[in-house]
Chains A and B, each alone.
Chain A
Amino acid sequence: MTHFVLLVVFSFFVSLVFGVLLRDQPRQQIRTGAVMFGGFIATALVLGWLLYFFPL
């Protein structure tokens, strides 16, 4: 499995649990989970590209 796939799987589970935990209505749960999932992926990609410019 690639790092990205693992990131997606991890984000999926955490978003799923938080979405269900924080909201009561299924529609809201899906929305919260989706926003959180998108946030995880977008943040990881942005931070990944930012780190790309730092020489190690």
Chain B
Amino acid sequence: MTTKSTAAERARGAVEPGTLVLLCLAAWLIPGAGHFWMGRRQKAVVFLLALPAMFAIGLLLHGRVFPFEFSEPLVGLAAIANVLAGAPWLLTRLLEAGSGMVTAVTYEYGNCFLIVSGLLNFLVILDAYDIALGRK
């Protein structure tokens, strides 16, 4: 008995595990790169502009890029969320910026922008992964 293969199944077969890892790494490093790779250029441009902009606004609002201190679980979790932002986080760490200013009125807002930017990028990575697997 023969079965018809759907477009999703064909796409799934076409993506190698190694390529998937590279795609996810690219999507993490440059927000929207995964979508660009998969030919979703309109989405890629929006992610490329919006997510680093959110991260930059967070820094301008004196938000903090959190260190990995798991003795304080919320700080550790915030650090993971920050890392998920990709290149903006790397640049911030390299430039030793993002120390935050606790006394600033906008400190918590800045943290919110920085953390949500990373979490949204994680969703974008997962979406690119799903597209690569042919689920979307």
A interface list, Cβ under 8 A from B = 1, 3, 6, 9-10, 13-14, 16-17, 20-21, 26
- Count residues on chain B whose CB falls below 8 Å from chain A CBs: 19
Interface string of B42-84 (1 = CB under 8 A from A): 1100110011011001000100000000000000000000000
Contacts of B106 in A (CB 8 A): 1, 6
Q: Is B101 an interface residue (CB 8 A)?
A: no
B interface list, Cβ under 8 A from A = 42-43, 46-47, 50-51, 53-54, 57, 61, 106, 109, 112-113, 116, 120, 123-124, 127
A21 and B124 form a contact (CB under 8 A):
yes
In the complex the two chains form, what is the Cα distance from A9 to B58 in whole Å? 11
Find the B residue at minimum CB distance from A13.
B54
Say how far A42's CB is from chain B's closest CB, in angstroms: 19
Find the B residue at minimum CB distance from A19.
B46
